[in-house]
A and B are shown apart, each in its own frame.
Chain A
């Protein structure tokens, strides 16, 4: 079977572009704090989602709705309404992380397919099966802490479909279990759907040196003219002991295109592309390339070489935890 390509859509235009470029599935979120890409100008209102779902379905594609932040105490109604509206709009599944929300959805929306978000960081077959038995979860997005052999082992021990990230931003920490961002800025992926938010970024230049700060903490310092990466906390340059450098992770992004055949052998159902904040042309190009790769694999042809290097914006690429030595 052809591996399913799951593509990001931050806007209705990106959704249509992804579907036209050959996406089997598109994922998106509502324009509020219920999803983990809660950026200004991004995401869907209810009408846009309904229209987007209709468009995707007419073209044989599916739409998943990410409701994958952790509801704030006292305000769970906002997240409950998001699930309800996703079902009304005809979404093919919701992507959830919060235990209370999974419980709510399984009791109140039993017919709405439930996927487990990467934000739940379910990292072994026992807990994945537990989510399946308890909440009827049909698919799990695996956290980016697992190697390919570990993913293969998980697939031999569960009937739950697995979806893995293959391209885009890379979390170094177990997802959904990181509060670095709120420690420095007060805003976090779990509570607010943002990490290292632009609202807290500050660039200053002095004597030809450019400093990038987040929440007042110096994350990158580069000479003028050098590329200045966005100050994402875990990819900053820090000192510890005698060493100075990218102690947690280099400013890299994930590209596992070369591992697609191995991931298929490992029993992975779907390949996920990160980047709901990306433009529609970027999304379309990534989708076309990955669609070509899985079609080639299915037809027994070799994969197209180095197809995505151009899209990484000069950033270094990594295969992340899929290779065990990353750890």
Chain B
């Protein structure tokens, strides 16, 4: 089983961004997806650093890919998306728009924000040139098993959301801007103060969601510690780890140990939560009654 690092979902300063990818060259991961997923307004701040990050990661032996935006509406965003292919690396489509721009017979990857719920969709994407698909985090284990089975016939690698706050929704509206009484066009980059998203609580103080500009994430960090054996048996080829601002290289190390069976089931989650007691975990989309459920804790979701 391999490890893929998904695109950084949050707005980090250019320096932080570069340091993150420099550190990743040393992390025990197989593949890194770079680029802006959430908001095109962030891109000018670090866009010129992307080529160097890609080549450093490639020099360190990582497969690299470049993500598309999750929601393409503006003319500027269409142009950006059409130009992705010029970077000369594999493109990960996270909005179907990207497919309209890829020359015929281009091989590509499919990210978790494209709706791949069934065999028909998987077959159609494979016929278009998809070689790797990270399934939507919402899928239950039965769907993962069914799709992984078909992927073997299609010579296509299937990946599952392994760790990190779950991307639950994308909108035309910027919630960070709204919180500050601004509109999206005049957001003044309110999201840059929250390098892992801004916690959203219910009125009785229960952690629930996290806002990240136009994106809404889960409060919990999805964690596949208790799912790895099932996913491996199903034929899932890789776990996707989603970047966070602190302790990410160590997190990659923990998953590597867990996959290599040098860490017992449950130990990974314990390590993650001992590093930060305020981190709540979930794996409910795979095996729970709802996405927020967590196998590993009695009473975390009381």
Q: A residues within 8 Å of B by Cβ?
A: 70-74, 76, 97-101, 103-104, 120-124, 126-127, 129-130, 143-146, 150, 153, 172-174, 176-180, 182-186, 188, 190-191, 211, 215-219, 221, 234, 236-241, 243-244, 247-249, 321, 324-327
Of residues 255 to 274 in B, which have CB atoms within 8 Å of A's CB atoms?
Answer: none
**Pairwise interchain contact B73-A173, C-beta atoms closer than 8 A:** no
Residue of B nearest to A246 (CB): B178
What total of chain B residues lie within 8 Å of the partner, measured CB to CB? 72
With beta carbons under 8 angstroms apart, the residue of B122, B125, B146, B201 that contacts A240 is B201
Residue of B nearest to A97 (CB): B115
With beta carbons under 8 angstroms apart, the residue of B118, B137, B173 that contacts A71 is B118
**Pairwise interchain contact B146-A74, C-beta atoms closer than 8 A:** yes
**Pairwise interchain contact B117-A124, C-beta atoms closer than 8 A:** no
With beta carbons under 8 angstroms apart, the residue of B97, B120, B216 that contacts A180 is B216
CA distance A240 to B120 in the complex (A): 41
**Pairwise interchain contact B100-A217, C-beta atoms closer than 8 A:** no
CA distance A184 to B125 in the complex (A): 30
Q: Is B198 part of the contact surface with A, judged by Cβ < 8 Å?
A: yes
**Pairwise interchain contact A321-B173, C-beta atoms closer than 8 A:** yes
Known A-B contacts A73-B118, A186-B290; A99 and B124 likewise in contact (beta carbons under 8 Å):
yes
CA distance A183 to B72 in the complex (A): 25
CA distance A178 to B175 in the complex (A): 15
Q: Which residues of A contact B138 (CB under 8 A)?
A: 179, 182, 188, 190-191
Q: List 20 A-B contacts (CB under 8 A).
A: A76-B120, A97-B115, A98-B118, A99-B116, A123-B73, A130-B100, A145-B71, A146-B73, A174-B172, A176-B115, A179-B138, A186-B289, A186-B290, A191-B117, A215-B290, A238-B201, A247-B179, A249-B173, A326-B172, A327-B177
Q: Which residues of A contact B202 (CB under 8 A)?
A: 217-219, 236, 238-239
Q: Is B113 part of the contact surface with A, judged by Cβ < 8 Å?
A: yes
Q: Which residues of B contact A327 (CB under 8 A)?
A: 172-174, 177, 183-185
| Interface window among B14-22, B26-34, B56-64, B204-212 | B204-212
**Pairwise interchain contact A72-B118, C-beta atoms closer than 8 A:** yes
CA distance A76 to B143 in the complex (A): 12
Q: Which residues of B contact A221 (CB under 8 A)?
A: 203-204
**Pairwise interchain contact A100-B169, C-beta atoms closer than 8 A:** no
Contacts A129-B100, A219-B202, A327-B172 known; list 17 others, CB within 8 Å.
Answer: A71-B117, A100-B119, A100-B123, A100-B124, A150-B73, A153-B75, A173-B169, A173-B170, A176-B115, A177-B113, A180-B169, A184-B292, A191-B117, A217-B202, A218-B204, A234-B169, A241-B179
Residue of B71, B99, B116 with most chain A CB atoms under a 10 A cut-off: B71
Q: Which residues of B contact A103 (CB under 8 A)?
A: 120-121, 123-124
A326 to chain B, nearest CB (A): 6
